[in-house]
Amino acid sequence: MPDENSDVPAKGTTGPSPPESAVPEVESVARGEDWESRFKYLFADFENFRRRSERERETMTRQVRAGLLRELLPILEGFHAAEEALAHLPPSDPVRRGLEILDREWMTFLKHEGVEPVAVVGHTFRAEEAEAVGETPATAEHPTGTITEVVQQGYRFFGGLLRPAKVIVARGTAPPPGTGPAAETDEEES
């Protein structure tokens, strides 16, 4: 039987055991690296969450603003109708001057909010921004495919469409210069 003080391992053991102080160092290094990588992944997840939350908050704010602006558009159109109805007043009339001041304030407000009109008479018709509600014959002034009249103005808001415009578009072929009704009256006079 082996002596208890001998260096021969006891039955069932494989060899001398490592020193007690070396085992915690290896485990602590492994745990430290594990915690460090876990921290990096957790921090990256948190940064992604923060950015995503910020984008969602901006999107929600923009949608709420767009909804409010959409509700204000009929008021703006009513104001423009009143302005047109009172256009016959002299320029010095206080009501007309008041409407001009309000018009400037509306335009400043819309510009500050990032709202832009989409339809302009004489510009090319774009189906993604406007709806054609009527057609007129093309002329030299308004060739085929151009907007001849804006029935209801549409607006763009932060690159997206707030409301499409309703327009009348020139269709057909424009008469060549020197022909058409104006040229016929000139020939009859000669």
Cα distances from 47 to residues 37, 53, 57, 59, 125, in angstroms, run 15, 10, 15, 18, 45
Highest mean pLDDT among 20-24, 28-32, 82-86, 169-173: 82-86
Label residue 53 by pLDDT band (50, 70, 90). Answer: very high
Tell me the three-class secondary structure of the chain, residue by residue.
Answer: CCCCCCCCCCCCCCCCCCCCCHHHHHHHHHHHHHHHHHHHHHHHHHHHHHHHHHHHHHHHHHHHHHHHHHHHHHHHHHHHHHHHHCCCCCCCCHHHHHHHHHHHHHHHHHHHHCEEECCCCCCECCCCCEEEEEEEECCCCCCCCEEEEEEECCEEECCEEEECEEEEEEECCCCCCCCCHHHHHHHHHC
29 vs 35, more confident: 35
For position 3, what pLDDT does the model report? Answer: 52
Question: Which residue type sits at 161?
Answer: L
6 vs 76, more confident: 76
Label residue 76 by pLDDT band (50, 70, 90). Answer: very high
Q: In the predicted model, what is the mean pLDDT of residues 53-63?
A: 94
For position 68, what pLDDT does the model report? Answer: 93
pLDDT in tens, 138-190: 888 889 999 999 999 999 998 789 999 999 999 976 555 555 444 444 444 44
For position 163, what pLDDT does the model report? Answer: 92
Which option is the CATH number for 115-176: 2.30.22.10, 3.40.50.1370, 3.50.30.10, 3.20.20.70?
2.30.22.10
Does the pLDDT value for residue 17 go beyond 90? no
Q: In the predicted model, what is the mean pLDDT of residues 61-80?
A: 92
